[in-house]
Structure 1
Amino acid sequence: MPEKDIVEIVEMPRLFLDSLGVGISIVDVETGLIRFANAECCRIVGYTLEQLRSAGISFLDLTYPEDRDSNRVQHERLLAGEIDSYRIDKRYVRQDGSIVWGRVIVNPIHDAAGRVKWFCAVVEDITATKILESQLAAAEKLAGLSTFNIVVGTDEPSQTPETASSLSEVLSHVHPEDRATLEKTIRRAIAKRTGYTCDYRVVAQDGAPRRVRGMGSCVYSPSEGRVHLVGSALDLTASRQHQDDGMPEPIRNMLNYIEANWQRKISIEQLAGQFGISSRTVYQYFANSGMSLGEKIKQNRMQHARRMLCAPEPGDTVMSIALRCGFNNPGHFAKEYRKIYGESPSESLRDASLPAWHQETPRAPVSGAARRRGD
């Protein structure tokens, strides 16, 4: 590179460049050598500008060996004109041998004739973020927690297939009997821009069902014009198993019977007699657990009603489903249902009966200026 070109780079406003909170480097397009680096870039890589230039260090020399191939591929695409710029997360090897993570955005710089002369790399130190991510991943694994972030809407209708694909990926792990209920819950949260909490089953890799508690919230990103559904799923199987381990056998057998025969109407006294314990013992046990047996029975039936309303059979009505699930008072059933699921039974049934193309599609908020224009 001619000396006048190096002088041209060095004469850039150093005070301005060094005051930025990100690293900036200028790379020669032909050799890949670093010709300039501001103070933050030098701190990130652990070299002074003089060391970088005198030693003839290229950006690939500083890149962690396992990240070089992916970096090289993106750089070659930029050189070939296939892309206008690229962004990657990669590791740098500092002069002292330590490793730092950088988020890098690379753009070409053209000369007066329009030829690519240099590359400008903007580097943000994300080492702390990566450490936190690894710690969170370890904590999630210990706690039986998984997280997700799904793009669920944009201003552009063309993004709808991406939304459906992302949502279907999450639903693909859900137990078939619970899938329609969870999908309905998520779609309603998206449409209303609210959160949700829902207990459901997932199918593990070994084929065994596991109970989880899913929680999510919709977050709008103005810079992207998109809504993200950010959520997590907490595995309840271990805690429920622990509860079962300390549960008297007659109580466990009683709960299993209720689960298998949820449509049958039976009194607590009959259940107690059937499993050889006194009614007082049953009442006392469930009082100590924080939820009465009657509440557990109602909760179980309400979950079945929810599944039927979200995936109805031809001819199903709110009344017929309520009666099949043991709710003889439609008004009371509707009130309790809304309290749990945030909508009426008729809303659930109506939405489940609509064709897929008629479902609500979330859109990004319209600005005040757009409203005034009538956009």
Structure 2
Amino acid sequence: MDDDVREVLEARLAQLEAVIERAPVGIGVVDLEGHTPLTNAHLRRMLGYTAEEFAGMPFAAYSHAEDNARNLLLWERMVAGEIDDFAMEKRFVRKDGSLVWAELTVSLVRDGLPAPYAIGMSQDITTRKRLESELRAAELRSRLLVERVPAVVYISEPGASGAWHYVSPQLERMLGYTPEEWMADASLWFARIHPDDREFVLDRTVEIMSGEHGQLNSSTYRLTHRDGRTVWVRDDSVVLRDPSGRVAFHGVIVDVTAEKALEAQLEYQAAHDSLTGLVNRTRFRREVEDAIATLPTDLRRPAVLFVDLDEFKDVNDRFGHTVGDHLLVAVGAALQGTVGERGTAARFGGDEFALLVHDVPEDRLPEFSEQVLAAVRSATVVHEGVEVHVDGSVGAAVIGPGDTVEQLLRRADTAMYAAKRADDTGA
């Protein structure tokens, strides 16, 4: 080899060594015994060993024990000629004892050399592995949270047949369907909405879609359990777009059946007498107001009747208030049975009742009043072998144009007291 060629080769070798030394990844030349006689600056900084230390110990000495077995297996296969190279993620042990995650690539060089050697390149991926670990931990925490909250978490496309991309396991406890069944049938959600609520839910979906994305929306409606039970739910959701631009609802469905039952109970209690179950004074006045507002033009105008029990105080004094309460309940049931579907029976308090009837002609009111009195007299409670019952007095007022609730109640009350006085005098 002449001097000019030698100089060119030496120059190129020097350039190559300089490139390797300055490379932004760890590079090492490893002999078949696993020692690394040649390393670059990046690898020495990454693991903290000197060039001499690398040359004097096998790579197994600074490899994590849990990764070393696989590394050695791949190395042996490569040396044996089964593979030309290999890649793996592994942990190196730094000189100070800390760990470095690296993406390792090793290739064996054989041709034209007295002895084969391997070139290894290591890219530090410690930060990436830490972030992956944190992400897995966060996903685990999120999944545990999602699967333990007493609600169904979901991601779905909008519309009656929009696909469901995720639904949490609580769905089976709430509606009797597994998440797999629910997501496999895009029409199942809409099919399980109560028929009376479907139009509302679809209209609400359109309204939400036209609103601001990312804004929390809430709807309450009924779903049908697999076994046929009705389940009231509150559906809280936000509309979001995925990276491809597709719109999806991200939401939480909460079972509010118990709350709706309590709400209905409170509404009932607010409108009904706690003893007899009849509507109370407040609800009765509201129904009379509605009757005035929708007064028919024909002769079948609604009427208000007042009913007062005669000598009811004597029942309490003689038999006790418990018997008196039972008698009030019996009278209330008898009055409700007399009114039936034609109107409303109410307890005004004490021993006073009121009736609103819609289809009794004015000339038939006296006859109907007698039916009311007969119902009162038929109400009986047996106490210690004695039948306890009372009589009553009735007054009626027909609703006319321009009447107010107060005027009607006053006229009916006046008519009732007139009837009571007439009975007392025998007229």
TM interval, short-chain normalised: 0.3 to 0.5
Structure with larger Rg:
2
More contact order relative to length (CA 8 Å, sep ≥ 6): 1
Q: Structure 1 length as normaliser, TM-score?
A: 0.40
TM-score w.r.t. structure 2 length? 0.35
